[in-house]
Homo-oligomer: A and B are copies of this chain.
Amino acid sequence: MARFNTPIDDIKYLNCEFLDRSLLKNSPLLSELNDDTTQAIFDEASKVAENVLFPLNRSGDEQGCSYNKGQVQTPDGFKQAYQQLTAAGWGNLSCKTEYGGQGLPHYLANAVDEMLIAGNMSFTIYLGLTIGAYHAIEQFASEQIKEQYLPAMVSGKWSGTMCLTEPHCGTDLGLIRSNAIADGAGAYKITGSKIFISAGEHDLSENIIHLVLARTPSAPAGIKGISLFLVPKFLLDKKSQLSQNNNVSCSGLEHKMGIKASATCAMQFDGATGYLIGDLHKGMQAMFVMMNSARIHVGIQGLALAHAAYSGALDYAKNRLQSRSISGSKYPELAADPLIVHPDIRRMLMTMKAYTEGARAFSSWLSFQLDVSQYCDDLIQRQQAHELVSLLTPVFKVFLTDMGELVSSLGIQIYGGHGYIRENGMEQYLRDARICQLYEGSNGIQALDLIGRKLPAHMGRYCRHFFHPLSAFIEDHKDNERLAAYIRPLAKSFTRLQNASLYIAQQGLTNPEQAASVASDYLKLFGLVVVAYMWAQMAQKIDTRQGDMAAEFYDAKLVTGLFYMQHLLPQTTALSASIMLGGDSVMALKESQF
């Protein structure tokens, strides 16, 4: 059975040394949060992930959720863990204190999330959906609804869902058929079928608050006619206590490749009472708030599973004895050397480490930008950060989830045949990770969002928020010979990204199909450059000043960053070539020729 350790040192390093938190130094958000407190929170979260959640991960996968006459039972141990975690506040770190949340910054909450997800992804989905629903309600609902629903959601007594997908429509929400008819008393009657509803029904919370996309009878066609409704499993009485059953039911569970302990439900709304959230026909606007938050969360899921796979593979590589080192026996007293002496095993471990740590730096930095966008006292900085987060959210979601698949697959490979055996736990990481590229907007859709919405926004202004500081960074350090191995590859790959961006922008205007044909390659190129920027910044900071970590830690960072520049970043050359050759051969075949 693969062991699991959280990346606690790396998380402390990123949060307390790597992040430049000066932009929020005046914010009340950080006023009571010194590094000691931060590290204490991380230490506790690490224990919860390793000792409470991870022990339920394999058993949860094997047992799965069960369905019986509309009721859903989560695997053994989930209920106690849910009570333990919500009582300790692990589900509401970033929620506002006025509703009972911890009021902590996103960069801290997201680092905690990474550890909890790595311990047991299925379990954390129940917490994550509630937070997604919380954000939409908090931003768009009336004060009355907020007062009625948010405190119990923040405490975990009630949980939340997002009900978007229908059997015939996933990406294309304009096709939604669920309907909402005003009941004359200020509410609506919601009728329709939804599928793929995570945490749609389960036994962890007393009530479930569904946010449902539906169409009113007179609404315009397509996505412009969609509204968002809050539909509780149990209606509330005048004292906001649970009263009767609403007409919401779970008609079955999906049988999935992974995240088997997460209940993925088919939901039926049969004239259920719902309350409008936000303006009529503006449901997509509120949904995008949830979706953008969820997309960052899904990226972190990819990162978390990549780390879990790395953790398991590393332990195995250090302990499994097989063959002798090519440069002479390293442990002659043993029957064979451990796997970790072998160069091809090293290559895999370094690939896992370089991707994962680079992506974690991206996660910390982007999460901090999210805090700046909400809490910075400089409104221009706030707006810039908002646009930067908008630009990079699709890049983050795709790069980290594709990495989640790749790294968890490498974890299996290091285990050899034993990686294919369920009891060892490695193959579960790949099965669990594979969903991340599909939900909350498939990765292809993210690439179209990047080139179609984010790149052209305000004549490329979003992009400049990323390109200008990166240019300045390269300019500042290009003559530092100690950093040359980082800055030069970064500069070259950045040139490729700039050229590709220009090409995409031009094609986008004249031949959008050409641009869309290479959108996924472009996004990947973008992601590789962002992560190279993270590695170069880490190297530059370590070159200037080393902090509280052991010297070995900093040395390892410099080597791992170098590996990234030498063995992973070169992919930008291939992607650049593929992009600049355009999409003619992509689109040329007739349908009958496939």
Binding site for B on A (CB under 8 A): 165, 168-172, 174-175, 196, 254-258, 314, 317-318, 321-323, 326-327, 335-336, 340, 342-350, 353, 405, 409, 412-413, 416-423, 427, 430-431, 434-435, 437-439, 442-444, 447-448, 512-513, 516-521, 552-553, 555-556, 559-560, 562-563, 566-567, 570-575, 577-578, 581, 583, 585-594
Residues on B with beta carbons closer than 8 Å to the beta carbon of A575: 570
What is the interface of chain A mostly: helix, strand, loop, or mixed? helix
Contact between A322 and B169 (Cβ–Cβ < 8 Å)? yes
Most chain B C-beta atoms within 10 Å of own C-beta, residue among A258, A336, A430, A573: A573
Contact between A344 and B573 (Cβ–Cβ < 8 Å)? no
Interchain CB contact (< 8 A) of A175 among B170, B335, B439, B447:
B335
Q: What are 9 A-B residue pairs whose CB atoms fall within 8 Å in the complex?
A: A254-B421, A257-B431, A342-B516, A343-B587, A344-B516, A350-B585, A405-B409, A570-B574, A572-B574
Smallest Cβ-Cβ distance to A591: which chain B residue: B340
Contact between A322 and B172 (Cβ–Cβ < 8 Å)? yes
Contact between A322 and B170 (Cβ–Cβ < 8 Å)? yes
Most chain B C-beta atoms within 10 Å of own C-beta, residue among A165, A171, A349: A171
Q: How far is the CB of A500 from chain B (nearest CB, A)?
A: 13
Q: How far is the CB of A581 from chain B (nearest CB, A)?
A: 4
Residues on B with beta carbons closer than 8 Å to the beta carbon of A421: 254-257
- Known A322-B169, A326-B516, A570-B578: A435·B448 in contact at CB below 8 Å: no
Contact between A588 and B574 (Cβ–Cβ < 8 Å)? no
Q: Which 8 residue pairs spanning A and B have beta carbons closest together?
A: A343-B516, A570-B577, A257-B427, A344-B444, A556-B593, A563-B585, A343-B517, A566-B581
Contact between B431 and A413 (Cβ–Cβ < 8 Å)? no
- Known A322-B170, A347-B586, A409-B405: A592·B255 in contact at CB below 8 Å: no
Q: How far is the CA of A443 from the CA of B414 in the complex (A)?
A: 10
Interchain CB contact (< 8 A) of A512 among B327, B349, B418, B586:
B327
Q: How far is the CB of A288 from chain B (nearest CB, A)?
A: 17
Contact between A552 and B590 (Cβ–Cβ < 8 Å)? yes
Residues on B with beta carbons closer than 8 Å to the beta carbon of A257: 412, 420-422, 427, 430-431
Q: How far is the CA of A443 from the CA of B348 in the complex (A)?
A: 12
Interchain CB contact (< 8 A) of A437 among B327, B413, B439, B519:
B413
Residues on B with beta carbons closer than 8 Å to the beta carbon of A416: 170-171, 438, 442
Contact between B567 and A585 (Cβ–Cβ < 8 Å)? yes
- Known A343-B583, A344-B448: A434·B417 in contact at CB below 8 Å: no
Q: How far is the CA of A416 from the CA of B436 in the complex (A)?
A: 11
Interchain CB contact (< 8 A) of A586 among B417, B427, B563:
B563
Q: How far is the CB of A551 from chain B (nearest CB, A)?
A: 10
Contact between A420 and B444 (Cβ–Cβ < 8 Å)? no
Contact between A447 and B170 (Cβ–Cβ < 8 Å)? no
Smallest Cβ-Cβ distance to A258: which chain B residue: B420
Contact between B570 and A588 (Cβ–Cβ < 8 Å)? no
Contact between B170 and A552 (Cβ–Cβ < 8 Å)? no
- Known A322-B170, A413-B443: A566·B593 in contact at CB below 8 Å: no
Smallest Cβ-Cβ distance to A564: which chain B residue: B585
Contact between A438 and B422 (Cβ–Cβ < 8 Å)? no
- Known A586-B346, A594-B314: A430·B423 in contact at CB below 8 Å: no
Q: How far is the CA of A323 from the CA of B512 in the complex (A)?
A: 15
Residues on B with beta carbons closer than 8 Å to the beta carbon of A417: 165, 170, 196, 438-439, 442
Interchain CB contact (< 8 A) of A594 among B353, B521, B583:
B353
Q: How far is the CA of A567 from the CA of B522 in the complex (A)?
A: 12
Q: How far is the CA of A589 from the CA of B560 in the complex (A)?
A: 8
Q: How far is the CA of A572 from the CA of B574 in the complex (A)?
A: 7
Residues on B with beta carbons closer than 8 Å to the beta carbon of A437: 413
Residues on B with beta carbons closer than 8 Å to the beta carbon of A423: 255
Most chain B C-beta atoms within 10 Å of own C-beta, residue among A317, A409, A567: A567
Smallest Cβ-Cβ distance to A352: which chain B residue: B594
- Known A171-B323, A172-B323: A419·B438 in contact at CB below 8 Å: yes
Q: How far is the CB of A330 from chain B (nearest CB, A)?
A: 9
Contact between B577 and A573 (Cβ–Cβ < 8 Å)? yes
Given contacts A170-B417, A417-B438, A420-B434, 18 further A-B pairs with CB under 8 A are A170-B418, A172-B336, A196-B417, A255-B421, A256-B420, A256-B422, A257-B430, A318-B594, A342-B516, A344-B516, A346-B517, A350-B585, A350-B586, A552-B590, A559-B593, A563-B586, A573-B574, A573-B577
Most chain B C-beta atoms within 10 Å of own C-beta, residue among A418, A556, A589: A589
- Known A169-B322, A438-B416: A570·B573 in contact at CB below 8 Å: yes
Q: How far is the CA of A86 from the CA of B434 in the complex (A)?
A: 37
Contact between A552 and B585 (Cβ–Cβ < 8 Å)? no
Q: How far is the CA of A377 from the CA of B523 in the complex (A)?
A: 54
Q: How far is the CA of A431 from the CA of B592 in the complex (A)?
A: 29
Residues on B with beta carbons closer than 8 Å to the beta carbon of A583: 343, 347
Q: How far is the CB of A444 from chain B (nearest CB, A)?
A: 4
Q: How far is the CB of A146 from chain B (nearest CB, A)?
A: 31
Q: How far is the CA of A443 from the CA of B321 in the complex (A)?
A: 18
Q: How far is the CB of A566 from chain B (nearest CB, A)?
A: 4
Residues on B with beta carbons closer than 8 Å to the beta carbon of A344: 444, 447-448, 516-517, 519-520
Q: How far is the CB of A248 from chain B (nearest CB, A)?
A: 21
Q: How far is the CB of A358 from chain B (nearest CB, A)?
A: 14
